[in-house]
Amino acid sequence: MKDFPELKIVLEHATTKEAVQYVRNDASGRLAATITAHHLLLSQEDEVEESLRPYVYCLPVVKTADDRNELRQVATSGDSRFFLGTDSAPHPVSKKEQKTGYPGGIFTAPAALELYAQVFDEMGKLENFEAFASLNGPRFYGLQPNEETVTLTKEPWTIDALVAVSGGEYIRPFGYHEDREKRLTINWKIH
């Protein structure tokens, strides 16, 4: 920041209390951060069944519950320096289930907005969701926000299938489980 005083910098995918404080302590107006849905939902302390571990492994890795809670607080706070950054990673099942060296990344795209909305609802801050999802990023970059809209309604649902891709491969979305009873209930749906 010292070497390039006109450069705007985005800390891609803040994951720690320290990252949040670093952005909050900056007074230049040139520093912002994105936050992923999965870092708002997961922590190292979460119990994850062995077969799902590759699917919740991401880079940067999820941190402690305290870090997650700090991210939830700042994401929903209305602070315009923080905005949506999905970092959704569509790695095929065959790669995620390799014995070693499976890739980091969580596939949240099929429900990303809905997952964010769920966090904002849980935090009692739905009034700040549109700015986080749609306005803060363009404002930071000096761009006009998109004029198209989506409508979210409170309607519980689950992701009920893997996503088929070319070559006979599949991608496992975040929240999906073969056992219907173990699927993540998502409380918001795009219409």
Q: Which of 3, 87, 121, 179 is catalytic?
A: 87
CA-to-CA distance for 43 and 160, rounded, in angstroms?
24
Written as one string, the DSSP assignment of 145-187 is PPS----EEEEEE---SPEE-GGG-EE--TT--SSGGGSPPEE
Q: From residue 72, how far is each of 15, 31, 36, 50 by CA, in Å?
A: 10, 19, 10, 26
CA-to-CA distance for 56 and 96, rounded, in angstroms?
10
Told to judge if 87 belongs to the known catalytic residues of this protein, a careful annotator would answer yes
- What residues are annotated to the active site? 87
